[in-house]
Structure formats: C-alpha cells, structure tokens
Chains A and B, each alone.
Chain A
Amino acid sequence: MYRGVCNQWFLLLLLVGPMFVFSAEPLGQEQVTNLGEVLSKTQINDFDITIFPDGRNLPLGEGSVSKGREIYQNQCALCHGKEGIEGPAARLVGSDGWFSFSDPFRILRIDKYPILLISVGGLWPHATSIFDYVRRAMPHYAPKSLNNEQVYAITAYILYLNNLVGEKTILNKKTILDVAMPGNERSISAWPEVAKPNL
C-alpha cells in the first residue's frame, strides 16, 4: 500500500506520528505519573488479612469452645469482663439497649462506659468479623500475638457466651459460616443513598 510513497518525510511522519496518538490523554482520564512499584504476590499474601463475610481469606485451622474459654480467661477477661458483659472494654455478650435480663446491672455501668449500650453478640451481622478483628487487633496490649487456631478458639467461645453455638462446637473456616448472627436480619444499608443530597 505504501509503494511509491517512500518519501522520507512521510516515513518520518509514520515513525513519529504514533507517539502523538498514544501519548495523548485517553478519553475521560487525566495524565498521571507512574511511580508505583509492582506489588508481588508474596507481599500481598503477607498483608492480606481481611476476612470477608463469604469466608474469603479464612485460614486453615480450628478451635474449640473449651480452648477458647482458657485463652479468654487468661487474656481477655481482664478488659472484657468474666462474662463478656461487665466491661470496661467493649461488651461482647447480650442484646443491645438499656435493659437486659441477662445483665440487670447494665444501666448502672452505662453511665461510666456509654459504649456498653451495644454488644458484639447483639449487633454484629457476621461471625467472620469477630475472627477478623480478634486476629488483627487483640489482645489490645499485644495485637497479632495469637495464631489462627487460637483466634478460632476465642471466636468460638465468644459465640458460645452469646448462645450462638453449642459448647461442643469446633470452629473452622466452614463451620464459622453456619453461625446465624442476630444482627444480620436486623441490618439495613444506608448506602447507596437514594435521592440524596436533596431532601
């Protein structure tokens, strides 16, 4: 097709032309710098700690309620209370609200620790979130010191305190997905915001 058009200027245009086409801004995007380094799979795996409600990223391993009781009493009870209700740290057990038959003294504690109005057992929609949070942040004074089996065990014990699993339960990446959290069916999402910002 280019026979007879071997003009040197045409050839120059042919070489140089594409540079202008491909460096022009793509439609709808801004020119950006490219200073990010490629992130390796190994590195991602080391930091990929988020557990999703569908079970994604849950590790292998298992933990029992009885093992969880042992760890809880040694490492968790001092902040969360022997029964997971007294505080001073976040309430793990029972319903949310001012009153509870399981904790008749709640209303006296709330004055000092207002966040005890809500509880993990009452509000959290997914058991996977308990695993996720305990593993990344607990105990408060030594985060990320528990191994995966210990985290399964503590999660099992917290669920047991809330009467959400039986005493003989072994929690692992499969059985944790079977737990029905009371907060789940009460949940609605305010996102996306329909018809906002206008009233």
Chain B
Amino acid sequence: MKSKNIQYVADGGLLDRRAFFRGSAAFTAAMLAAPRVMSSPDVSKAKIGESHPTWMKIPGTNDMPYGLPSRYEKHVQRHLAEGAPETSLFSVWHSPIENQRGIITPSGLHFSVNHNGVPEIDPQKHELMIHGLVEKPLKFDMESLLRYPQVSNIYFLECAGNTASNAVSLNALDQNCQELFGQVSGSEWTGIPLKYLLQEAGLKSNAKWVIAEGADGGSHARSIPVEKLLDDAIIAIYQNGERLRPSQGYPMRLFVPGWEGNANVKWLHRLEVTDQPAFTKDESGLYSDILDNGKIQRFSFHMDVKSVITHPSGKQALPEKKGFYEISGLAWSGYGKIKKVEVSADGGKTWAEAQLDANVLPKSLTRFSIPWQWDGQPASLLSRATDEFGRVQPTRDVWRDKYASYSFNHYNAIQAWSVSRHGLVENSYV
C-alpha cells in the first residue's frame, strides 16, 4: 500500500533521497508532546538503580595505550581468503566493508594481499635507492625521507582481482560482501610526492619506466611508467595518521592513486629508472587480462568506475518486513570523482539517483545512500556508478563479452543483490 504522502522515485519502493530530512520535524514534535509519568508512593526511601544496567553501577576499567575496538565488535575482522594456495605466503585478506560506514577503512581492517608473506623490516636499516637512467644515483634513509615535504589525500585502493568470482563463476556464489568485494578499502595516504625525489636524482631524457621493487622475501617488482610517478604518485609513509602497518608496507610503499593494488609496491626499497618495462612475474602473468579474441592485455593499470551496495548485502537478513531502510553503499573510480550513483530495486528496470555523501573526492571511496520502503515482495537491488568523465559501470553481460571466460581481473560490472520475501539477501546475476 503506497501512502499518498510518500514520494517514490522508482519502482520497487525507492524513495526520494531527501525523504528522511522532510519527515524529521513531525517526528520531533510527536516526541515532545508525550507527558512524563511518575510512580512510587514513598520517594524518600527509594533508591535509583533498580532498572539500571550493571555497568552504570560500577566503576569502569582502565583504558589502554593503543586503543582497540569493543569486544562486542570482535566479529568485524579481515578474512583470509580460501583458494590461495596452501603453501602460502600468497595471502589475500578481505576487508569487512559491509560493516563499514563512511569512506575510511580503519587501518587494521584495510585489505591486504601479499605474495611472499609480510617482512619484518628494521626502519633504521631500510634504504630507498634510486638508480638507472638518472644523473645522480641516490639512496635515502628513513630519517632523511621524513624531512621531505609530505602531502595527504584520501584514496581508495583495490586489488585487480576484487570480485573475481563474479567474473568467472557460472553461478552467482552465495557469498557476503566481504568475500565478493572485500579487496577494496579507503584511507588517508600521506607521503612524499615522487617527483621531488626523481627531480633530485635528475631523470635522463630517455627515462620512460621505473621498476619499483619491494624489500620482501620475493622482491616484489612492478614496472611503472615515469609519467605516473611524476603525476600524483607518492612514497607513502603514513596511513590514517600513523606510520604504515607492516601489512600495508612498513616503513614505506609506493602509492599510485587509482591504479591496481599490485602496482602500489609495498616495503619499497628500490626504484630503477629505465627505458623499457621489465615484464616482472606479475605483469607477465597474474596481472594481465585475456580478451575475448585471445589477446593478452598488459599494463591495464587503472581500476575503472565501480560500486556496491553494502547495506544490505550478501548473506544478510533484513530484520523485518515492510519497513524503511536506508540502502547505502560505496562507489569509486580510478580516474577521478564519482558524478552520480543510481540505484534500482527492481533488477534494473527502473532507476533513481542516490544521495552522495559530502566527501566526493577524486580516486576515493564515495558513500551513497537512498531510502527504501520494502513491501515484503522479492526485490533485486542494484547500484550503477558514473564518474566525472562519463565512465559508467557495464552490466555483467557486457563486461563478459569483452573478456575470455576465464579472465578475472578488473571486473567492475553492476552488482545485484536479490532480496527474497523472507528478507534474505543473496548475490545474484542480472
């Protein structure tokens, strides 16, 4: 039954994104009008506290030097993916983004992939070397680097293989948002613009590529075009206000905004300036796309426009039927800002524009939301993001057409969550 006063903007129960604001004045008035009721005849002998919970009747415990979440939030953790080889050291840790609000993923929950374990690096012994096609080969210790000017920006970071199972699996796997989309996170990244260091070394005229190498056991290496390093790349030293965690590259990593996670070389220790790419292991194999014509596409660095509804999402159950919910989710583009996010509640037949949260930043997670009145019928929730350059998410079929059936990187198709009449939310293909 649709109320005359509610503005529906699309089928399936989607409401105008400002519907919650309009309702609030009436709500407040109703609360103030209710009278207080007093009981208990002998007030002088009465004590308060009978109805108060235990924690309001005892002193609390000590705080601690490095704060931790409440034990009641223990279930909010990163999750180690199965399917990475057991001999691993090739580990993929997924972020629980369905528990996250806002656009910052706490550092301890930020996704992380490593191909050779997390090294234990002594910052006092760690050096950054710059050599190759430069006028002056240089090395820097951490103490020197910390004296350089640093810049801060809020950026997303995403693995090329995020949402891979939706790319290759014939059936939509019954997984939650963490398992399907958990290889993306957002943080404030602070560090030294690469251009300061490269200019100090002096690039030779034939410098075109830089091989960035990490100090992990496997000496992870990627070839990066020098234009990107001179553009917005930084040597990241701080994440969310504190020094990088080991899992995120302590004591420093290369950060190339908007580009696939693998290229953001952790535990960075060497930059070799050259005129050609090295075709390192990852750019030879795992981080390539096989197109539908059989060609192997290399150096597809950018993470393209993408979005996902996090609230509600896979394997969740809506608490009750026929209520208001705020559909909420995240959108991002490796090319720039999100321009708009559209949401559908009827499997893509009709769409309405969602509200974008105040912080719309380039190459950053962007929070979107739209109110929804669920009528208890099966529904299909989709989000479709468009960035400032007009790039828009494709449907799964369009994405699949472009690539070989077994190619799984850079999957950015529109995500669909089906909602059953019992309120169960499931991954689905539309």
Contact = CB atoms under 8 A, between A and B. Distances in A.
A144 B131 CA distance: 22
A36 B285 contact: no
B302 interface: yes
Given A87-B85, A118-B286, A187-B295, A132 B137 contact: no
A89 B336 CA distance: 36
Given A29-B199, A113-B85, A90 B285 contact: yes
Interface in B195-214: 195-197, 199-201, 211, 213
B300 interface: yes
Nearest to B90: A89
Interface stretch (A43-51, A158-166, A170-178): A43-51
B285 A140 contact: no
Given A88-B86, A113-B83, A126-B284, A38 B391 contact: no
A14 interface: no
Contacts of A29: 199
18 contacts: A33-B196, A36-B138, A36-B197, A37-B140, A44-B137, A112-B83, A114-B164, A126-B279, A129-B280, A132-B278, A137-B115, A137-B217, A140-B116, A143-B219, A188-B296, A189-B297, A191-B299, A197-B335
A129 B279 contact: yes
A29 B281 CA distance: 35
Interface residues of B, number: 72
A102 B390 CA distance: 45
A146 interface: no
Interface stretch (B30-38, B344-352, B404-412): B404-412
Interface in B136-152: 136-140, 144-145, 147-149
Interface in A52-109: 52-54, 78-79, 87-90, 96-98
B137 A38 contact: yes
B168 interface: yes
A3 B408 CA distance: 79
Interface stretch (B58-66, B268-276, B317-325): B268-276
Given A35-B140, A123-B296, A189-B298, A51 B278 contact: yes
B87 interface: yes
Contact of B138 (A37, A118, A141, A191): A37
Interface in A143-171: 143-144
Contact of A50 (B213, B284, B302): B213
Contacts of A112: 83
B354 interface: no
A32 B200 contact: yes
Given A32-B200, A197-B336, 15 more contacts: A34-B200, A37-B144, A44-B131, A47-B270, A90-B285, A113-B85, A114-B164, A114-B168, A119-B285, A126-B279, A183-B284, A186-B294, A187-B295, A189-B298, A192-B225
A36 B290 contact: no
Contact of B221 (A50, A89, A125, A192): A50
B140 A53 contact: no
A198 interface: yes
A125 B145 CA distance: 37
A199 B144 contact: no
Chain A at the B interface: mostly helix, strand, loop or mixed? Answer: loop
A89 B86 CA distance: 8
Interface of B: 83-87, 89-90, 115-116, 129-131, 136-140, 144-145, 147-149, 164-165, 168, 195-197, 199-201, 211, 213, 217-219, 221, 225, 270, 272, 274, 276, 278-281, 284-286, 288-291, 294-302, 335-336, 387, 389-391, 404-406, 408
Contacts of A118: 285-286, 290, 406
B137 A39 contact: yes
Contacts of B406: 96-98, 117-118
Contact of B85 (A79, A97, A197): A79
Which 3 A-B pairs rank lowest in CB-CB distance, beginning with the nearest?
A36-B138, A137-B218, A191-B299
Which of B286, B288, B387 has the largest count of A CB atoms less than 10 A from its CB? Answer: B288
A12 interface: no
Contacts of B147: 33, 35
Contacts of A36: 130, 136, 138-140, 144, 197, 200-201
Contacts of B270: 47
Nearest to A199: B390
Which of A36, A39, A144, A183 has the largest count of B CB atoms less than 10 A from its CB? Answer: A36
A119 B406 CA distance: 12
B298 A124 contact: no
Given A52-B274, A126-B284, A191-B225, A140 B148 contact: no
B141 to A, nearest CB: 8
Contacts of A129: 278-281, 284
A137 B285 CA distance: 15
A172 B139 CA distance: 32
A126 to B, nearest CB: 5
Nearest to B270: A47
Contacts of B218: 136-137, 140, 143
Nearest to A54: B276
A39 B391 CA distance: 44
Contacts of B86: 88
Contact of A38 (B138, B144, B288): B138
Contacts of B145: 35
Contact of B129 (A39, A143, A191): A39
Given A88-B86, A88-B87, A125-B279, A193 B296 contact: no
B364 to A, nearest CB: 15
Nearest to B283: A129
Which of A50, A51, A190 has the largest count of B CB atoms less than 10 A from its CB? Answer: A50
